[in-house]
Chain A
Amino acid sequence: MSNTKKADPAAAAELFILRDQVHEPMHDRFLWATMQRRDAQAAAIPEWEELRELASKIKEHTLTHLDHYLEEFEANATKRGAHIHWAIDAAEHNTIVHSILESHGVKELIKSKSMLQEECQMTPFLQNRGIKVIESDLGERIQQLDGQPPSHIVFPSIHKTRRDVAQLFARKIGTDPNNDDPHFLTEVMRNNARPRFLAAGAGMTGGNFAIAETGTFMVCTNEGNADIGASVPPLHIASIGIEKLVPRVEDMGVFLRLLARSAEGEPLTQYSSHFTGPRKGGELHIVLVDNGRSRRLGMPDFWHSLKCIRCGACMNTCPVYRRSGGLAYGATYSGPIGVILDPTFDEFKYSELPFHSTLCGSCTDVCPVKIDISDQIFKWRRVMAKKGYLPLVKRLAFAAAGRAFGHPEEFRLMEEAGGPALGYAPDFLLYNHSLNPWGRDRQLPQPAKKTFREWYLANRSEHGND
């Protein structure tokens, strides 16, 4: 995680945008359509804003009493026959999972989507130790076959066209490269996955929520793949971040009404499954994972990010994410939520991410648990500046801007001189790739003929003395 190469979202986004005339517009269109479905669902529920407030309060309460609720969850889940493990970090998580699999002689594992297992880089860890790991969610499986991480936390392969998928399946599974019908491609994967579900020695899932009151954890999917993985192999292992706790069963009414509506504009996912202890004849292990979360909890500016329920609404609404594609962030979590989560894992590596934003604030407006995402992005910029992680060109520009905004007379001079100058400034200076990567693929608006101050003095002369 701590290799020193900085993620460069601007350069990576450029590759996505310039690739062709198909991928980026399609990506933008799909996610915006999802956002519009979300808006319609939210508008149809009179108590929507009240639900957001409740969800936020429940999470704040839980996080400020997290030790208590984790112990309650552990006690109740243990009473129901689940085995509870605690992992301080990704390495310990992976070691625990591996030792459970090894002690059961498991050679092949079928898993559903888990951002936490992505975060822990679990799959390469297990495969290096001779355990075959198969993703069962269609989008995740597409990404696995292509050797890419998921580009979106809900729609892992949303950046790919049907043609991309058809050609990938042709290469990896031997299907017809010219048949790109989504029904055909889905059927291909269904038939490919079935025997693996039946042969797997263990099924792995994540957990969307963990309920302290009953020791239950919940998994939401549309495909039912997590349910097959949990109900067919004899062994079920679930990886759950410690921030996923909620106190009571009744809290789930609030969260499930928000989650799928925010994520995909549907009232629920097709399957909302509750696991309380092992199924009849099965064995259940739950790995509770910290991996930096308890430390983040002590960051007054950033602990609210732990309220996240991973719906992805902030990504779908984000004008920067929709145009960049999720892979551009070079991190496990992309989009606005990624911008505020990733630096808690590695500040230097992800120091550019907070600048991959327009600070428009739409993410904050749609977040179902009211995380102040855009404010946190701004605060992360300050952290990056203070720690000296900014590249020279940004440091110089911000220093000049800081001087000008701090001295009104100087600002006025610059404004009057700068407006016309912008009109004549050659593009190679404004849009120079190495000097200003943010100028790539963007045009500045035409500068106004008058400054605001000139207009104000001319039109509001009764207050003209300033």
Chain B
Amino acid sequence: METTSSREVILKGIRYSNLFLIKQEAEAPQIPVFQRADTPLKPEFEVHLQKAGGVAHDVSSVAEVETKLAVLHPEAMVICSAVPEIAGTRKVTEVHDPHELADVDVGIVRAQFGVAESGAVWLTQEDLVVDALGFLSQHLIVLLDPNEIVSDMHAAYLRVRLDETAFGCFMMGPSATADVEATLVHGAQGARSLNIFFLPPM
């Protein structure tokens, strides 16, 4: 097993090496606020989500979500929900071990906010309840309040609280790969599809 001495050797080595460098930046630079055109964020979010392979849906009620869910995934046997609005066939709060999620066809989660410049949504351990729900589910349904969209990653990092969650993910569409002849394929390891329903929480 390593001892504290490796730690000390490395830190000492860094301090020694730093003696050879001119200290260019005494402070970390301030990150300016970049001006954004005053355009609505939802259409921009939708365009980028589509490019990332996701699909956005405007809905007016929970009932409409359930109807669309049945159309999108008619053969789904196991629907595991992490949101109070939709019951599914299994509540994720009753799952104790992530391996229990291996058979999930559709996972349903609510994202805290979306990012217009990429179409990504922010999901934390608290939103997923069991992290693996976001990645073992064959398909994902994400509920998102259309008023909760920020313009870019600078604004996004002002909202995330990494000091309050063990896991957080910007998820931009479904799983993807281009490892065989640079051909884009969705559903490499994670979700095969990602549908976002614009619906404020109850």
- Residues of A whose CB lies within 8 Å of any CB of B are 26, 30, 33-34, 46-47, 50, 54, 57-58, 60-67, 70-71, 80, 85-88, 92, 95-96, 99, 136-139, 142, 155-158, 160-162, 165, 182-183, 185-187, 189-190, 193-194, 197-198, 211, 214, 216, 222-225, 227-228, 230-232, 242, 247-254, 256-257, 264, 266-281, 288, 290, 294-300, 303
Complex Cα–Cα for A214 and B160 (A): 12
**Taking the nearest CB of chain A, how far is it from the CB of B123, in angstroms?**
10
Q: Judge if B25 is at the interface, Cβ distance under 8 Å.
A: yes
Question: Which residues of B143-202 have CB atoms within 8 Å of chain A's CB atoms?
Answer: 152-158, 160, 162-163, 165-183, 185, 187-191
Which of B48, B167, B182 has a CB less than 8 Å from the CB of A273?
B167
Q: Tell whether, in the assembled complex, residue A279 and residue B166 are in contact, meaning their CB atoms are under 8 Å apart.
A: yes
**Taking the nearest CB of chain B, how far is it from the CB of A170, in angstroms?**
14
Q: Tell me which residues across on chain A come within 8 A of B9, comparing CB atoms.
A: 88
**Interface residue SS majority, chain B:** loop
Which of B32, B48, B181, B190 has a CB less than 8 Å from the CB of A182?
B181
Between B9, B29, B32, the greatest number of chain A beta carbons within 10 A of the residue's beta carbon is seen for B29
Q: Tell me which residues across on chain B come within 8 A of A227, comparing CB atoms.
A: 131, 134-135, 169, 190
Q: List 23 A-B contacts (CB under 8 A).
A: A47-B34, A60-B25, A61-B29, A64-B18, A80-B166, A86-B10, A136-B189, A158-B179, A185-B180, A186-B187, A193-B189, A198-B102, A252-B157, A253-B154, A257-B117, A270-B171, A272-B170, A273-B170, A274-B160, A274-B168, A277-B166, A280-B131, A298-B21
Closest A residue to B119 by CB, please name it: A267
Q: Tell whether, in the assembled complex, residue B118 and residue A267 are in contact, meaning their CB atoms are under 8 Å apart.
A: yes
**Taking the nearest CB of chain A, how far is it from the CB of B21, in angstroms?**
6
Q: Tell whether, in the assembled complex, residue A279 and residue B167 are in contact, meaning their CB atoms are under 8 Å apart.
A: yes
Known contacts A225-B190, A227-B135: does B6 contact A278 (CB below 8 Å)? no
Q: Tell whether, in the assembled complex, residue A273 and residue B172 are in contact, meaning their CB atoms are under 8 Å apart.
A: no
Closest B residue to A273 by CB, please name it: B169
- Residues of B whose CB lies within 8 Å of any CB of A are 1-2, 6-7, 9-11, 13-21, 23-29, 31-32, 34, 48, 52-53, 97-99, 102, 117-120, 125, 130-132, 134-136, 152-158, 160, 162-163, 165-183, 185, 187-191
Complex Cα–Cα for A249 and B162 (A): 8
Complex Cα–Cα for A57 and B160 (A): 23
Q: Tell whether, in the assembled complex, residue B191 and residue A224 are in contact, meaning their CB atoms are under 8 Å apart.
A: yes
Q: Tell whether, in the assembled complex, residue B120 and residue A272 are in contact, meaning their CB atoms are under 8 Å apart.
A: yes
Complex Cα–Cα for A32 and B175 (A): 24
Closest A residue to B6 by CB, please name it: A86
**Taking the nearest CB of chain A, how far is it from the CB of B93, in angstroms?**
12
Between A63, A228, A300, the greatest number of chain B beta carbons within 10 A of the residue's beta carbon is seen for A228
Complex Cα–Cα for A50 and B190 (A): 34
Between A58, A139, A227, A297, the greatest number of chain B beta carbons within 10 A of the residue's beta carbon is seen for A227
